[in-house]
Amino acid sequence: MHAPPSPTGPYRWRWLILVVMIVAEIMDLLDASIVNVAGPALEESLGAGPVGLQWVIGGYALTLGAGLVLGGRLGDRYGRRRVFLLGLAAFTACSLLCALAPDTGSLIAFRLLQGTAGALLLPQGLGLLRENFSGPELTKVFGIFGPVLGLGGIIGPVLGGGLIEGDLFGLGWRAVFLVNLPIGLAALAVAAKFVPRKPGDRSVRVDLAGAGLVAASCALLVLPLNQGQEDGWPLWTWLSMVASVIGFGLFALQQRRTAAAGREPLVAPALLRKPAFSVGLAGIALFFTGLVGTQLVLTLYLQIGRQFTAGEAGLGNLPLALGTAIGGAVGGAFLAERIGRKVLQIGPLVQLAGAALLWFELDALGGAPFSILDVAPGVTVAGIGSGLVIAALFSFVLAAVDDDEIGSASGVLSAVQSIGGSVGVAVFGSVFFARAGAGDFTGGYQRALVVQACLLVAFLASGFLLPAKARPEDEQHAISAASTEAPAEAPAGASG
């Protein structure tokens, strides 16, 4: 075991820590998107229907989002290295279990466990980087971190499609999960040897009651959204969603009472009393619900509606990835700094234009032979709009919080992003399959575009209530680095 960083100089092996953190983050990004192209393979192998597929894809994001803030707090108390190693080992083991799943129910259960492991793993990464880098090096680290993670999100469907279509050793869809084993084991060996020990703060209290309320409320929301379409929306689905709203309200009340009693809440109540931050949370939920949902529907449409192979469907996501990369580059490097909050109005307007163009492209297809080029213009324009928003959204929401709250706020935002993605899978999957079940795949896609348009209009309205200027990226990193010195006040945020 290598010694911790010397107070007289930087830790010798710190760049290996960066490599391990990037690998861990990419494993999460791959698992969040790589399964999107596995639908037909899962149906053929395990008999997974639409609801089962939605749970396989969205269940991971559900438990990940529900546990992110708790995972950050556990790292504060028990030490980030220890919790990171535990999360990485559990994530790798769950990947193996997913690959060995004998039926759809088992696969869903293992995906839920995998998301829980990710919630332990991910919040520790940025905290460990801040503990081992400082000054200009920390800025350079984040300069490397962002683009690499963006690439990880792009290659997920492409890699997943290639693995399934390649059918390595006859493994089929199981290779999608087995790819994590060599990566995870190698990262675990390097992390155990080179990540230095730093004790946690045992005075940090872990709010298990609050964590339980969040998990229960999330489950009460996503369960009826997944099951409702297939069951015909019986009374229990509506009661469950009402109970979810009540549960989140009780969580906010419980957090205030916990803070008033002198104990440490999962979420600082002062954050929820800031109107701009609360609006920002709603905006992030709306945006990522639509973004993740439409990404899934594009893949389902290509595979189920147009009989693309898994590999072809993965490549069919490239126009969206290209558009997102262009929008992110323009929004993050140019527009956000020069026009401020207006970039969050331009982005959804461009997305709406892309959705409208895509609608007409789908409408014009008729019975003609289909090529991805037929819808590439609309998909690319929509991607540009989403990239404009993604590059700037978090910075504008974080501008509404105080410096000492940024760590806690980042964790909450990442959790809402993940939960929004899970809701998007449930809602958009149900909308698409409602029409696809009758053979109207184009109609299912078009209905999904209408739902996305409604969400984008609501997001567009929320953007006017955010701060006029974003928090500078370098200021965010500096404050986040400083916040790790007071983990009781600012638990490590998560990325993902």
Per-residue pLDDT band for 42 (boundaries 50, 70, 90) equals confident
Q: Are residues 426 and 446 in the same domain?
A: yes
pLDDT for the residue numbered 143: 65
Kindly report the CATH number assigned to the domain that includes residue 326: 1.20.1250.20
Q: Are residues 87 and 222 in the same domain?
A: no
Contact indicator for 184, 94 with CB cutoff of 8 Å: no
pLDDT for the residue numbered 86: 95
Q: Are residues 282 and 228 in the same domain?
A: no
The predicted model gives 475-496 an average pLDDT of: 35
Q: Is the pLDDT of residue 493 over 50?
A: no
pLDDT for the residue numbered 157: 78
Q: Is the pLDDT of residue 2 over 80?
A: no
C-alpha to C-alpha distance for 57 and 299, rounded to whole angstroms? 12
Q: Are residues 305 and 215 in the same domain?
A: no
pLDDT for the residue numbered 149: 65
Q: Are residues 243 and 122 in the same domain?
A: no
Q: What is the CA radius of gyration of the chain?
A: 22
Q: Is the pLDDT of residue 6 over 70?
A: no
Mean pLDDT of the chain: 84
Residues 456-472 have pLDDT tens digits of 999 999 988 888 877 66
Contact indicator for 212, 220 with CB cutoff of 8 Å: no
Token output for 285: 């939920």
Contact indicator for 419, 66 with CB cutoff of 8 Å: yes
Q: Are residues 66 and 136 in the same domain?
A: yes
pLDDT for the residue numbered 333: 61
Over pLDDT 70: what percentage of the chain? 89
pLDDT for the residue numbered 353: 97
Q: Which of 35, 316, 23, 32 is nearest to 175 (CA)?
A: 35
Domain-located, residue 105: yes
Residues 141-199 have pLDDT tens digits of 766 766 666 666 667 777 788 888 887 788 888 988 998 899 999 999 998 988 888 88
The predicted model gives 383-410 an average pLDDT of: 83
Q: Is the pLDDT of residue 476 over 60?
A: no
Domain-located, residue 140: yes
C-alpha to C-alpha distance for 55 and 61, rounded to whole angstroms? 10
Q: Which of 189, 186, 180, 80 is nearest to 128 (CA)?
A: 80
pLDDT for the residue numbered 351: 96
The predicted model gives 24-39 an average pLDDT of: 80
pLDDT for the residue numbered 491: 30
Over pLDDT 90: what percentage of the chain? 38
The predicted model gives 125-144 an average pLDDT of: 74
Q: Are residues 235 and 352 in the same domain?
A: no
Q: Between 184 and 262, whose confidence is greater?
A: 184
Q: Are residues 129 and 215 in the same domain?
A: no
Output the 3-class SS for 289-322. HHHHHHHHHHHHHHHHHCCCCHHHHHHHCHHHHH
Domain-located, residue 321: yes
3-state SS assignment for residue 171: coil
Domain-located, residue 200: no
Q: Are residues 79 and 163 in the same domain?
A: yes
Number of structural domains the chain divides into: 3
Question: At which of 163, 193, 223 does a domain end?
Answer: 193
Residues 58-107 have pLDDT tens digits of 999 999 999 988 988 898 888 888 999 999 999 999 999 999 999 999 99
Domain-located, residue 344: yes
pLDDT for the residue numbered 146: 61
Domain-located, residue 141: yes
Token output for 79: 């030490």
Q: Are residues 260 and 288 in the same domain?
A: no
Domain-located, residue 284: yes
Domain-located, residue 202: no
Q: Which domain holds residue 456?
A: 273-491
pLDDT for the residue numbered 140: 75
| DSSP category for residue 195 | S
Q: Are residues 397 and 291 in the same domain?
A: yes
pLDDT for the residue numbered 248: 93
Q: Are residues 76 and 130 in the same domain?
A: yes
